[in-house]
Each structure stands twice: as C-alpha cells, then as structure tokens.
Structure 1
Amino acid sequence: MTQTLSNFGVSVLDCEHRTPAAQISGFPYITIPDIHDGRVIVDKARRISETDLIKWNRRTTPIGGDILVTRRGRVGDTAPIPDGLRCAIGENLVLLRTNGTQDDQNFLRWAVRSPQWWSEVDRLMNVGAVFSSLNVKDIAQIRLDFPPIPEQQAIAEVLGALDDKIAANTALAASAIELASSEFALVVRDAHWGATFADLAVISGGGTPSTKNAKFWDGEIRWATPTDITTLAGPYLDSTSRTLTPAGLNACSSKLFAPGAILLTSRATIGAVAINIVPTALNQGFIVVEPRDARMRWWLFHEMDDRRSEFLSWANGATFLELSRGNFKRLRVRVPSDYALTMFASTAEALHGAALAALAENRTLAATRDALLPQLMSGKLRVRDAEAAASAAGA
C-alpha cells in the first residue's frame, strides 16, 4: 500500500537550528559528514558537553533506530541512530520515528534507501544555486509502499543480515590493521635511524594528461587522485573514480605502477597512505615509494603512516601546501635488525591479508544488498529467494 509517511504513523522530528560549542571530549554531535553508506560513523564527529547535549535535545532526543535524514547538500541520505548512542543531531538533519502500528522501524531503514524514496526526494527537493534542500514539512509527505508488517520484518531481516556481516567484516579489518600498527610500534622501539627513503626505495610521482582531450579518458587504466585514497575503507587501493586510455597514460608523466607500491598523498590531504593492489596510474598529488627489498613494503608503509604529522611539517607552498619529493627523499628511516624485519614482514603480511579479504568480501555483500533492495521493495523478488541470494553472498 502506498501512503505518505505521516499517514503511516511516521513522525518527522526536527532539531535545534544552531550549533553547540565543540569540546575536546564529550558526546557526539552528528552532522552530515558523519553519515557514510547508510551508517553513522562517530569517530570524527564534533564532541559536545553534557550541558549542551541536554539543551540540544530539548525538542528531540535521538533514540536507537531513529532514521537520520539529510536536508541539505547530500539531500535524502539516511542512516539509523546506533542503539545506545547518546548524541545530538545537526541543524540540517531530521529524524524519522515510527509509532509501530503500521510499519516496522527496521523496515523503514531500508525503505528510505529504495529507488522509490529517491524518486520522492527528487520530487520534493528545492534545487538552489549554491545547494539543494528539503523542507521539514515536505518530508512527511513522501510516499512509500508499505507491505503488511510481517513482510516488512522479513525484508528487514534479509537486508539487515547482509549489513550486519558488512559491519562485522569492517570491524575485523580495523582490528587487523590496528594489530599490525601495534606490532610496528613494538618493533620500532629497537630500530635505529639509518638510510634515507631514497636509499631504501625508488621514489617517484604521477601526472595528469590534458583534461581537454577526450581520447585520454574513460579507458580501462585506473588513475588515482588523493581523494581515491582518503575515502578508502582500508589502506588498499583497488579502484579509482577516473580512468585513462593507453593514449592518456602515454601523455602523462605517470607510469602504470605495479601492485605493491606505497602511495603517499603529498597535496591537499598530506600523509594519507595506501598500497595499490591493482595496476594504477596516479596524478601529481602523490609520492610513490617502491621498496628495493620486498620485506620493507609493510615496514615502510607503517613508518610513513606513523610520521604523518612530521610530513605535514615539511610541507610548504604559496598556493597550497605540498610535501616535495626532494624533501621526502632525504628523510631518514628507522630500520630494524634483519631478523626483526623478516618477522615483522611475515606478521604484517598476514594481518593486512586478513583485512583485505574482509573488505573484499564486503564489496560482494554490499553489491548483493544493493541489488536485492529495489527488488524486495518493489515486490518483484520473494523474501525466500532473497534469503538464498544473501546466503550465497556470505551473510
């Protein structure tokens, strides 16, 4: 049955239209940048005091399961409030909360990611010269299909199982990467300052072919920019937002780097580090480190990751800050004993391999989830068949 949100018992809850003072620690104040792929990530959220938490929640206190909706910028993006999270929400967000009589809150989480939802957002969105927006009162008039509650619950269970597996894999990958970093922190205590980066690796960079020549672009050769690194779920680059043709590769100063190169962003965001796991060309916003000894790959990766603030201090430039290859090459590296290096390389390879495998499985799970979502919401796919597809994907 197609009904407006308000007619199906869904309330649209607004918040304070002002911003509290930031604190060093405290409670998360969730804003649009804290919403990623249908989830709230509070790691980098602004922190506020308990006094401000109470003030900002006078109108609406978020509870677990409430659905956040963005009203500006990325209009219509959604994510549920995690269970048990005490937080306040930003002025460009609202909450959706069902009374439970005609719809299931877990189902609502998925209904607001369906093609029907996005069609309604487009219908009601106010397109502006600077940014687009969605009025609070219009959100209640969004029309969605609501099947009977038992079917809603079955759909939510299938999609939720896939999403829960993605969350578990993400946590596993983060733990493996953290363990590798902890192992590095232990071993580096006994390392000594030795050779420079230039002594231990081939140091190079990338380039950009003419953006005015269409023959250079949209081929099959991956071409990375710093943004491709900073948006990664883990430090493993396997895809890029833009691609080159062979002619485009020949027309720029970047070579096609074989898998295993260490990529350091040297402009805009300085110090983000990743390793390419597929052949990749790069723009000029990188310093590329290719170790002469394969055992040094993960050691240099963690050495570079550990020295981000130092790299930033070496950056200079009148227009924008940049870490030059010349300065980077001269920097000395902490080097462990030969035995310690061999042992660390083995441990790090296993831990990063586990993280990479978990994140790779997430791509399959997310693709399955996103393919099932519109089919289930439209009724074209039965829940029983969706359960089989989810099981085959690993959920």
Structure 2
Amino acid sequence: MAGEWAKTRIQDIAKRTATGPFGSAISAKNFVGSGVPVIRGSNLSQSVSTRLDDSGLIFDSKEKAREFSRSEVRQGDLVFTCWGTIDQVGLIDSRAKYDRYIVSNKQMLLTPDETKADSLFLYYYFASPETRAKILNQGIGSSVPGFNLGQLRSFEVSLPPLPIQKAIAAILGSLDDKIDLNRRMNATLEAMARALFQSWFVDFDPVRAKRDGRQPPGLDSDTAALFPDSFQDAEIGRIPTGWDVVSLDALASIRGGKQLPTEDCLDFGEFTVFGANGIMGYTKDFTHDGFVIAFGRVGAYCGSIHWSLKGAWINNNASAVVPMQWPVFVLQTMLNIDFSSMRTGSAQPFIPNSSLASAKVVRPSPPIAEAFCNIVEPFRRQQADNDHHSRTLSTLRDTLLPKLLSGEIRVSEAERHV
C-alpha cells in the first residue's frame, strides 16, 4: 500500500526536464498561421478531464521551432506552468491534435523514464487536488505565483511499482475515455444541428432548390412541401416568401437572473446553476422549470449561451431566455447570432436585455419550425443524457482518484466500481 511506496524525486524518474525558450526568444513577431504549435498556459487546465486544450493555439514556423528543440514535447511528455496558474498540468497523448509542440517561456516540461514511471499516472498525480494544493503552497513570488524547474525536479511523489501505476492510470483513464467519447458525440450532434439550421434558415437551401425546379436534397416529399419556392424582400435582405423578420422577444421571454446565495451553490444537486460563464455549480432549487436558455450578459464571456431541458437556476450575471414555442429552434437561432456588436463597456463588458430582446431574427412558417424541432430535439436530449452521464463518471473518477493515489483502496477494489 501507499506506506510501502517509494518517495521519489521527479529528477530521479525523468529522462528530461526543461523550461520553454528564454524571454523574448519566443514572441508574437515570429508567430505564423501554421507550423509547430506553441503550448501556453491557456492550453492547460486545472480540470482533470482536460489533458490538453488544443483551441487557441499559436504557431512557430518549422524553421524557428528548430531553435527550440530543447523545449519540444511529444507524446508521453507532461507540461507544467512555472509562472501564473502553477497548479495546472497537461499531458501530450493520443488525444492531442499534433504530434509535437513547443512549450512557451512560462511553461516547463517533463519526459518521464518509462521504465520507472507511467506518464498517465504522473498526470493524474499532479492533477489531483492534494498535489495541486502542495504546489500552490510551495509557490514563490507575490503578485505572480511561481513554481520553477528546480522545484519540479526536487518535487517528491509517492510512486508505487510500475505495474500498479499502469493499473491505476488505466482505471482513471477508462473513465476519462468515456467522458471524452460523450464530449465528441455531443460535438457531432452540435455540428449536425448547426448544419441543418444553416441550410434551412440561413442559406435557404430547400427554397433555392424548389425555385430552381429541383427536389431539395435530403428532404422527404412531405417536408419539402412545407418550404416556399420564392423569396421576398425584408429589412435584413431577401427571405423566403411567407416568412417574416421579428425581434427575439417575439419568440421568447427575456428576464434577468437571480442571485443564488453562495452557500447554496454546491458541487452536486438536481438543478444546474448558470452564470455568465456557464455552469457555476448545482443546487436543489430552480428559478425556471422546463426548457431554459442561459445567456451570459456580464463580463468577458457575455454573449455565451447554455441551456437545460429540465430547468435550472439562472444567476444574476446571466439572463433567462424562455421560448414561447419551438424551444430548440429559438436556441439555434440564438447560437447563430453575433452578439459582439451589442457589447457595451470596456472594463466590464455588458449586453443589456433590451439589446438582446431587439435582435432581429428570421421567423419561418410554424410547420417548418416544428419540422426542425422534430429533427433536432432528439439531438438535444441525447446531449443532455451524455452530459449527465459524464457528470456521473467525473464524480466517480474524482472519488477514486485520491483513494487510489493514497493507496486507501486497491486496484482490484476500484475495478469493481468502473
């Protein structure tokens, strides 16, 4: 058990440790549109499920990247932040979009000796709440926390034999694999919903096909018959005949959220609490029962959109948008709006409810909106089921993680829960 596991310094199980390029050696003036991606702090996460965030990457040219070979990471390497959010960690594994990266000047890397340590085990070790707290306690600096390469090299880990490391990593990894599968399924469903909305209500593909004397592709005859075969002028341009342009508040009621007492925002609960940046937590009560859209209206993420099928608590930095009819059509309509022009304020961006309410949108004939909802609503229900499943898996992983790393439970016992 854990008491029998060796206390080992990182430098004793590492093939290589290094920092990113020094100072201005890596800078914006050298970034290009494509090439070798650079990992910055924003590409790492404090979430165990996110081993590497490939969104928002910047790139160095292949020629420039050759100068930084000592700062290159590949599959099996771990990445740490040495200045800033020092309790986050990343892992380059099979999920990574690229086969190699350069770490930035505020990151550092570890290549474990695979005969002594398993990369995924080490990832979970450093992503655990206990290790993150220990790193924060060892942080240097005042205004900007630091955790330097020397500290990483001398950092002690409680390391079981390699077979046990791999077994622990496999249990936790299997749960994260299921979570990742749900995420990818939801991304596919989202893309399908967006593509259908784009075709029907932005590009007007079925109307154009009928105007040209063609059968709308992908539609059965009954659905195709719902669409007109001509266009009319409207204030936002030409739209299908018989459709109209309305303000968003003609399709939904829009109200500001209500502040939830801090002590009532929990890690677990029946109803999701939505704030300006999405999920804040969970609670036993709700401000809205049934389908509701949470619209972030304050802060850097104002304009963000989240939703719930079964009700939620909409907090005071968000607005509740409740469709009067055609819920998933209204949701997709909002997801298609560019809210950037509605922002006011600089230090604290803000979108007034009045601006949201007055947004101009296309309203199709009721049978077409209903046909869209009949197709897309099962997508949304599947997404909600996948999210619920992922939360259950995350809870199980987070329960097992410290117990496995401390040796409180054996691998054989944990396997019965997975």
**TM-score interval (norm. to shorter):** 0.7 to 0.9
Q: Which amino acid aligns with 1:48?
A: D
Distance across 2 between alignment mates of 1:136 and 1:347: 54
**C-alpha root-mean-square deviation of aligned residues, in Å?**
2.6
Distance across 2 between alignment mates of 1:206 and 1:377: 41
| Paired residue secondary structure (2:403) | helix
Aligned residue runs from structure 1 range 320-335, under 5 A: 320-335=348-363
| Equivalence for 1:47 | 59
Distance across 1 between alignment mates of 2:33 and 2:258: 39
Aligned residue runs from structure 1 range 1-80, under 5 A: 1-9=6-14, 11-17=16-22, 18=24, 19-21=26-28, 22-36=31-45, 37-38=47-48, 39-55=51-67, 57-80=68-91
**TM-score, normalising length: structure 2:** 0.78
Distance across 2 between alignment mates of 1:351 and 1:26: 36
What is the deviation of 1:10?
5.2
Distance across 2 between alignment mates of 1:325 and 1:141: 53
| Equivalence for 1:130 | 143
Deviations 1:13-39 (A, max 9, x none): 222024332434443211111113241
What is the deviation of 1:65?
1.3
Percent identical: 22
Give the total of aligned pairs: 358
* Change beyond 3 A, Cα 1:389–1:274: same
Distance across 2 between alignment mates of 1:222 and 1:81: 32
Within the candidate set 245, 259, 263, 1:194 is matched to 245
Distance across 2 between alignment mates of 1:372 and 1:335: 50
Q: Which amino acid aligns with 1:51?
A: E
| Paired residue secondary structure (2:20) | coil
| Equivalence for 2:108 | 94
Within the candidate set 169, 184, 187, 1:156 is matched to 169
1:376 lines up with 2:390 in the alignment = no
| Paired residue secondary structure (1:43) | coil
* Change beyond 3 A, Cα 1:273–1:113: closer
Q: Which amino acid aligns with 2:313?
A: T
Within the candidate set 340, 365, 385, 2:393 is matched to 365
Q: Which amino acid aligns with 2:331?
A: F
1:226 lines up with 2:276 in the alignment = yes
Equivalent pair of 1:20/1:52 in contact (CA under 8 Å): no
| Equivalence for 1:240 | 280
Distance across 2 between alignment mates of 1:97 and 1:318: 43
Equivalent pair of 1:271/1:305 in contact (CA under 8 Å): no
Deviations 1:204-236 (A, max 9, x none): 223559xxxxxx542369764312x2xxxxxxx
Within the candidate set 257, 260, 263, 1:206 is matched to 257
| Equivalence for 1:292 | 324
| Equivalence for 1:111 | 125
* Change beyond 3 A, Cα 1:365–1:267: same
* Change beyond 3 A, Cα 1:281–1:13: same
Distance across 2 between alignment mates of 1:370 and 1:197: 41
Distance across 2 between alignment mates of 1:177 and 1:278: 20
What is the deviation of 1:45?
2.0
What is the deviation of 1:2?
1.0
What is the deviation of 1:383?
0.9
| Equivalence for 2:231 | none
| Equivalence for 2:190 | 177
What is the deviation of 1:346?
1.6
| Equivalence for 1:266 | 297
**TM-score, normalising length: structure 1:** 0.82
What is the deviation of 1:362?
1.2
Q: Which amino acid aligns with 1:90?
A: S
Distance across 1 between alignment mates of 2:123 and 2:348: 41
